[in-house]
Structure 1
């Protein structure tokens, strides 16, 4: 079936009417998915105390859902090209609910091996991002896809929801009921998606088999370029969102408790969420390259400041918020870069690989931070220096890439 389009071959405004509402529905679904995906991190102190976990075990516990959520995005992104957003959003949300309940069981019986297994399964929730990028982009013309993917990217606010709501609910209604609430939210959201979501009229199913599709995406230079950049900006966001409560309560134990760390993590996530659509819009207007350079420059300089371990208070609060904002700008810019650089039938597969790289970028830092922590100086400075070095290299790489999509 031929999609309605203008004479120039681009989607007409009439054919895409209602797109913002569909993108907002996808954003809400992503919010619930991110809440579930990050539900272990806010309760890490509880797990560590009750199970007697060391630094390495805590880092593994935090990193496992991120790893699966990252690698799974490759498959889910390619499947979205074939089955569409409505089916894949529903499937990911429904499959994630039992994972949350398994986490609840692991915590209830204080089994660390089961917690790792359930965390592995919980990674399914993190794949939801790879569904929304091609779904949202299809609802807007090419020159506005930075805006569309930026708005969808605001679903990362689920990280903030998790940081605030999960420990608060656990404190007020209990550990098990909290996980019942999260699982229930996933099921309710799946029902809303099934009955209210519809595909863009310009979307066409790509029935190419999964493996050739992923291989085809990996043959495109833009896939590797954007994967590297997204591994820094989104990976940094995931890593800090996941590890920040642990970082704050370790470096500033007298000033920050678990609830305070959760509140600061929520502010960190909120800053990135607000900045992401701004990054997409700026990329549509100015070109994604300049926005990416500003983002990476900010990350490098602010990571250096964090590594100096300034006194807890205004300086640390502002530094982390600005770092999150820099990461959010970069996330919006990278996905605005993908659309104009990728054949439309490969956007889902490329988005899945790039999103996976972002998740992998969030997998390793918690492990590195745990491995490089110095109890003698109570410092994670070596891990932060590695972020500075990698970010500086990414800044050079971004500066060498060709810009696309700039409006005249």
Structure 2
């Protein structure tokens, strides 16, 4: 049996987290500057919503081919190439001076979001099944890149300029690609998938696990991404905060949700991921309903928003604890890609819904009510699907 060095395993985990942080920073680069870009390009609320939603949908869809490629060629090669491609996407932003050019840039930025599906099989191969809930939760902390984007991007833009900020992020991505190529390596127990891309995809979509987790992740990660992308706009329009203040608060939401992911993974290792998923969904339903029509951002409302972030993060961590333990050998990247893609698509629709809701009602409340209802529906679904002891016995 091949022995895995713990220092090498933790080095691989650290590099994967770094890669996810910087790629996710690039992926959500437009969100903190959304109002500013809308003013410069004279975009309507709906047009801005579409620009902010495009990186999500293409980041989601891109997870399927990248997950398949990760199973076939390994995380070292694919994450290095992904970082270079994302650098090119960010560089294109410096030339985007029209609505159509901004749409193209938004599509290309999706590459950064798609990188997530590469890291899951890369990290999983370094750790035993009993450790994967926590370790994949730690890897998922790379989502803090979206918080980094919300917190740092407006300040950088104010101090060094918007275009210079884009060039700085592009440089970080190129440096990351070089570091990952030189320093990272695939686990000694990892073996490339022997199936063709088509058969790998078929193996993933024919597993019931894939669709059960996709349904849960569409809500939990979809809500996380939607809030990460659109919360600065919600806070500014609903509570009349400054752009910088709204972006900072949105960054806090993303940070809490991100830090909760390893806790959700750790808790899944201890008490079972099924319990974590169901409890999280129930709390999401209650908290979303509570904040729906609040008119002022008082302390208890802020606590409710942060609590919502925490339970969404726990649910996300639990989902990939299940995937990491229950996915069939040789298909983890493909399953991760499909689950991640559907989760990302779950984040594509809410910004459009939020924009339309505000445009016609001057409130975001009904969108929150829909989130609450959907959480309850999926809770009931999970209650039945988790009864399959053969599939979910290990989690």
Distance in structure 2 (CA, Å) of the matches to 1:40 and 1:17 = 37
Q: TM-score, normalised by structure 2?
A: 0.96
The alignment yields a C-alpha RMSD, in angstroms, of 1.3
- TM-superposed CA distance for 1:148, in Å, is 1.3
Distance in structure 2 (CA, Å) of the matches to 1:129 and 1:404 = 26
| Aligned counterpart in structure 1 of residue 303 of structure 2, from 301, 305, 318 | 318
| Residue number in structure 1 paired with 2:23 | 33
| Residue number in structure 2 paired with 1:307 | 292
1:347-394 Cα offsets, whole Å, 9 max, x none, are 11001100111111110100111122255x521122111111111111
| Residue number in structure 2 paired with 1:129 | 116
| Residue number in structure 2 paired with 1:385 | 369
2:195 alignment partner, SS class: coil
Q: TM-score, normalised by structure 1?
A: 0.93
- TM-superposed CA distance for 1:340, in Å, is 2.4
| Residue number in structure 2 paired with 1:20 | 10
Q: Which runs of 5+ in 2 are unaligned?
A: 387-391
| Residue number in structure 2 paired with 1:140 | 127
Task: Map 1:81-96 onto structure 2 (within 5 A).
Answer: 81-96=71-86
1:200 alignment partner, SS class: coil
1:114 matched to 2:101: yes
- TM-superposed CA distance for 1:315, in Å, is 2.3
- TM-superposed CA distance for 1:232, in Å, is 0.9
CA contact (8 A) 2:254 2:309 kept: yes
1:373 alignment partner, SS class: helix
- TM-superposed CA distance for 1:16, in Å, is 5.2
1:208-246 Cα offsets, whole Å, 9 max, x none, are 111221111100000000011011111110000000001
- TM-superposed CA distance for 1:310, in Å, is 4.2
| Aligned counterpart in structure 1 of residue 174 of structure 2, from 161, 184, 187 | 187
Which one is further off, 216-225 or 388-397?
388-397
Task: Map 1:4-403 onto structure 2 (within 5 A).
Answer: 4=2, 12=3, 14-15=4-5, 17-106=7-96, 109=97, 111-253=98-240, 256-374=241-359, 378-402=362-386, 403=392
Runs of 4 or more above 2 Å deviation: 14-18, 401-406
Give the length in aligned residue pairs.
390
Distance in structure 2 (CA, Å) of the matches to 1:191 and 1:15 = 23
Distance in structure 1 (CA, Å) of the matches to 2:381 and 2:246 = 34
Distance in structure 1 (CA, Å) of the matches to 2:125 and 2:369 = 39
1:163-196 Cα offsets, whole Å, 9 max, x none, are 0111100000001100000000100111110111
